[in-house]
């Protein structure tokens, strides 16, 4: 079942890179008591994700925060080392938190997986964005395969 507006974000564990190395982070803890703009991409370093999706959120980070977003986060079914390297390459430090969903637990739990096997990617998370307030989804934007419109930083800004 796909997550919907009004649903609570499922309890899963992400991995983030810290100064002390990889650390586990529960979704319950991450989303509690604040407003998070979360977006999901099919893969780090992939064309649309690297050229448009992540850069849009890096560029619009201050505007999102001025509209009440406490944290901006990107998730993908990639390991924490890839997510960390991609965030650094994109200049996301201090603007976008890179949440590794290495085993796809989050993508499966929200019902938003895709089959990227024909590209050698296996099962990945779909391209989507959401606003999460204190653990509850208040906006959800799921892209059609191959599209990049609804999950952009600009579209999310218009929803705040």
Question: Which residues on neighbouring strands pair with residue 129, listed in sequence order?
Answer: 39, 141
Do 102 and 14 form a contact (C-beta atoms < 8 A)? Answer: no
Q: How far apart are CA 73 and CA 67, in angstroms?
A: 16
> DSSP 3-state assignment of 77?
coil
Q: What are the Cα distances from residue 29, in Å, to 33, 86, 94, 135? A: 9, 24, 19, 9
Catalytic residue among 9, 36, 41, 49: 49
Question: Which residues on neighbouring strands pair with residue 41, listed in sequence order?
Answer: none
Catalytic-residue membership of 74? no
User: Where do the H-state alpha helices sit in the chain?
Assistant: 27-31, 47-48, 54-59, 61-66, 80-89, 105-109, 153-159
Q: Among candidates 109, 137, 125, which has minimal Cα distance to 37?
A: 137
Active site residues: 49
């Amino acid at each position: 079942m796909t997550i919907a507006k009004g649903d609570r974000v499922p309890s899963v564990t992400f991995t983030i890179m810290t100064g002390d190395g990889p650390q586990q982070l529960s979704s319950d803890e991450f989303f509690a008591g604040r407003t998070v703009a979360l977006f999901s991409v099919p893969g780090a370093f992939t064309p649309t994700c690297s050229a448009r999706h992540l850069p849009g959120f890096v560029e619009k980070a201050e505007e999102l925060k001025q509209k009440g977003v406490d944290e901006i986060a990107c998730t993908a079914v990639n390991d924490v080392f890839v997510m960390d390297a991609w965030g650094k390459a994109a200049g996301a430090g201090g603007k976008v938190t890179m949440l590794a969903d290495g085993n796809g637990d989050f993508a499966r739990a929200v019902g938003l997986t895709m089959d990227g096997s024909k590209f050698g990617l296996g099962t990945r998370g779909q391209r989507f964005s959401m606003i999460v307030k204190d653990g509850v989804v208040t906006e959800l934007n799921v892209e059609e395969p191959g599209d990049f419109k609804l999950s952009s930083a600009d579209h999310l800004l218009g929803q705040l």
